[in-house]
Amino acid sequence: MISELQPNEIFVFGSNAGGLHLGGAARFAFENFGAVWGEGHGLHGRTYAIDTMSGFAVLRENVRDFVGFAAEHPELRFLVTEVGCGIAGYTPAQVAPLFAGSGRNVVLPASFR
């Protein structure tokens, strides 16, 4: 459970396309780390939202975009939650391979390793 962030850390969580952060990690990101209501993907505050609710192809595309973004920002450390494994209904075995090739500044949950 990620409860606080160091100055260079970003909380990575699963969202929906509409950015309605009603529960789970999305709500926590909204209440604690600056996730923006109405923004369902990308960097906002000290968070990075990945759309997990618009189908697996969209999830794959959002993770690809995230991995590229993280590579462009080695000064940041990205703490990834179990995106897609809550209400979206995917398993860690389905989602973890999408993060293949992530850099050393991307910290994956144990279930994704």
Q: What is the CATH number of the domain that holds 92?
A: 3.40.220.10
Residue 18: pLDDT band (50, 70, 90) is: very high
Mean pLDDT score, 10-23: 93
Mean pLDDT score, 74-97: 96
Does 19 reside within a domain?
A: yes
Which structural domain, as residue segments, surrounds residue 30? 9-112
Distances in whole angstroms, Cα of residue 67 to Cα of each of 37, 55, 56, 92: 23, 19, 16, 17
pLDDT at 100: 95
Does 18 reside within a domain?
A: yes
Mean pLDDT score, 6-33: 94
Residue 33: pLDDT band (50, 70, 90) is: very high
Please report, as a single letter, which amino acid is at residue 38: G
Judged on CB neighbours under 10 Å (0-12, 13-18, 19+), 50 is buried
Q: Distance between CA atoms of 18 and 48, rounded to whole angstroms?
A: 14
How many independent structural domains does the chain possess?
Answer: 1
Does 1 reside within a domain?
A: no
pLDDT at 96: 97
pTM of the model: 0.95
